[in-house]
């Protein structure tokens, strides 16, 4: 008999166990599918958005920084800067006007009178050499009576292609909704605590349309580090430390050259410190880290649920296990058998979750980001990181946790399994209780005997309540902050 290949009599029980407890396994599988699907969608969306953001630097010739002078740059200033710092500098002039949109959508009806009065639009000429726009709907302006505006702001106030917009006393027809690579988040100033896509807008007009405006011209200039002075071929730093060193060298040279030629510097903002450029990209990275932590915590919790379920199953099958052990089956064979169910359920859930992550959940996450930021168009990019973190790691977690619990449960002897003696008898005297009524002492005894379990349950409930409190309170907190933020400003 020893030389013949044995068939495991427990193997056929796997299908029966799945059929008998299908409700329980479906609930666990649905939780896993939802969790893995959400996090997979987040990883795919974040990876695609981050890649689109990184590519935007070259695709749309995003600036490495910009500076504003109090007057037109003096003769020789731009040439001196380009020669000494190996940069190419472009005019980035803009005007600011009060915005009065006439919309066809209903979103604008929700705006308060205060919000309508505080609307402002920053208008640039259509930029073809630096900070190009990604056209998401319609087209760029072609004559002096047309304007393209930020897509995020337009959606917030119900503005669409074909509507009219009044900037100061000048009226324009909206021909396009765009995303500007230097304003993916609508910060009016880089020092602002929070962006405002409701009352701040960025517009693009032709040169004739720019000349129609009566507001003061802000003498802003944007630059790109290049491989050779003034040649226009970008030379990206690649890391923040190098960008910081470049920016320090540039502003030092700018200050010297501007002072010599009588120009006064009003502001200088390098790209790495520009909230309008970096805020969305930083948010993608933090969301990815948070999503990974949530995934692993919840998978670990479900792995413990599986472990408790299988532990109960082992107790129920103890006589069968004792017989098999007495017949020559090893602990390893039995552990392997009971490990099959959680791994199969986790694998199926991971496959379905990743499919949903690349389709349904990815679109949901992308929609959330597009509702918050003015992002350019993107392409979905398959993520090996998403596969590893949402499929491989959960299976490993499920395997390790269940392996530890099941192995510990299998340490009993065949005789103990046959006699169902799977619980260790605690030695020592029971705690003497006060002379309460019998039912009160009985309840107290049950509580004392299960303190570890109640403690874990207490910790779990606390964690869930904290997360629920954050989820419920966050919208009201943000709304309150939004309303009170103007009152907290120390000065204009």
Residue-level pLDDT, tens digit, the chain, 492 residues: 444 555 556 666 667 666 677 787 888 888 889 888 888 888 888 888 878 777 778 888 899 899 999 889 888 899 899 888 888 899 999 999 998 887 665 655 567 777 778 889 999 999 988 999 989 999 999 998 999 999 998 888 888 898 888 888 899 999 999 999 899 888 888 877 778 888 889 999 999 999 998 888 999 999 998 877 656 677 776 777 888 888 899 999 999 998 988 889 999 999 888 888 888 888 877 777 777 788 888 888 888 888 888 888 888 878 888 887 888 778 888 888 888 888 888 899 889 988 888 888 888 888 888 888 888 887 788 778 788 888 888 888 888 988 888 888 888 888 888 887 776 555 556 667 777 777 877 887 777 777 777 787 788 788 778 878 888 888 888 777 777 777 777 666
Cα dihedral sign, 36-38-42-45: positive
Check: CB of residue 188 under 8 Å from CB of residue 196.
Answer: yes
* Lookup result for tokens 């190419």: 88
CB atoms within 10 A of CB 445: 13
3-class secondary-structure state, position 179: strand
Closest C-alpha among 299, 365, 327, 382 to residue 48: 382
Closest C-alpha among 334, 306, 305, 309 to residue 412: 334
pLDDT at 327: 80
Check: CB of residue 90 under 8 Å from CB of residue 66.
Answer: no
Rounded to whole angstroms, the Cα distance separating 164 from 95 reads 19
Closest C-alpha among 5, 16, 31, 38 to residue 316: 16
Check: CB of residue 276 under 8 Å from CB of residue 113.
Answer: no
Rounded to whole angstroms, the Cα distance separating 377 from 53 reads 10
pLDDT at 231: 61
pLDDT at 148: 94
**Token code pair at residue 23:** 């409700």
**Token code pair at residue 26:** 């479906």
Rounded to whole angstroms, the Cα distance separating 423 from 454 reads 19
Mention every residue, 6+ apart, whose C-beta is less than 8 A from residue 395: 343, 346, 347, 350
Rounded to whole angstroms, the Cα distance separating 387 from 199 reads 41
Rounded to whole angstroms, the Cα distance separating 220 from 344 reads 61
pTM of the model: 0.72
């Amino acid at each position: 008999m020893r030389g013949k290949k044995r068939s495991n009599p427990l193997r056929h029980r796997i299908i029966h166990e799945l059929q008998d407890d299908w409700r329980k396994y479906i609930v666990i599988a649905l939780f896993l599918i939802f969790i893995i699907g959400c996090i997979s969608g987040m990883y795919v969306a974040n990876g695609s958005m981050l890649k689109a953001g990184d590519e935007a630097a070259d695709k749309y010739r995003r600036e490495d920084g910009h500076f504003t002078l109090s007057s037109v740059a003096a003769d020789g200033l731009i040439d001196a800067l380009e020669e000494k710092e190996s940069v190419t500098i472009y005019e980035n002039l803009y005007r600011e006007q009060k915005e009065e949109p006439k919309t066809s959508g209903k979103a604008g009806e929700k705006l308060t009178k205060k919000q309508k009065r505080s609307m402002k639009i920053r208008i640039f000429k259509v930029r073809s050499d630096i900070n190009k726009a990604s056209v998401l709907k319609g087209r760029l302006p072609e004559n002096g009576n047309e304007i393209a505006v930020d897509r995020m702001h337009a959606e917030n106030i119900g503005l669409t292609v074909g509507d009219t917009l009044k900037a100061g006393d000048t009226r324009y027809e909206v021909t396009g909704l765009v995303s500007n690579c230097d304003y993916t988040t609508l910060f009016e100033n880089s020092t602002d605590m929070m962006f405002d896509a409701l009352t701040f807008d960025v517009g693009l007009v032709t040169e004739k349309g720019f000349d129609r405006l009566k507001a003061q011209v802000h003498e802003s200039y944007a630059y790109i580090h290049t491989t050779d002075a003034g040649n226009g071929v970008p030379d990206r730093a690649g890391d923040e430390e190098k960008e910081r060193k470049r920016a320090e060298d540039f502003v030092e040279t700018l200050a010297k050259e501007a002072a010599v030629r009588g120009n006064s510097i009003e502001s200088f903002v390098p790209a790495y410190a520009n909230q309008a450029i970096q805020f969305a990209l930083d948010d993608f990275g933090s969301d990815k880290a948070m999503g990974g932590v949530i995934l692993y915590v919840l998978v670990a919790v479900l792995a413990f649920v599986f472990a408790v379920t299988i532990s109960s199953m082992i107790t129920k099958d103890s006589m069968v296990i004792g017989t098999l052990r007495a017949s020559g089956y090893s602990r390893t064979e039995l552990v392997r058998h009971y490990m099959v169910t959680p791994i199969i359920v986790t694998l199926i859930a991971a496959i379905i979750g990743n499919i949903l992550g690349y389709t349904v959940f990815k679109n949901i996450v992308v929609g959330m980001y597009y509702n918050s930021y003015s992002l350019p168009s993107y392409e979905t990019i398959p993520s090996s990181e998403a596969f590893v973190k949402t499929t491989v790691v959960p299976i490993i977690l499920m395997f390790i946790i269940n392996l530890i619990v099941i192995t510990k449960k299998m340490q009993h002897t065949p005789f103990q399994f046959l006699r169902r003696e799977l619980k260790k008898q605690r030695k020592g005297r029971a705690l003497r209780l006060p002379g309460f009524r019998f039912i009160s002492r009985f309840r107290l005894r049950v509580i004392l005997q299960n303190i570890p379990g109640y403690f874990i349950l207490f910790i779990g409930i606390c964690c869930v309540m904290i997360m629920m409190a954050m989820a419920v309170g966050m919208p009201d907190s943000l709304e309150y902050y939004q309303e009170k933020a103007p009152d907290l400003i120390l000065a204009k």
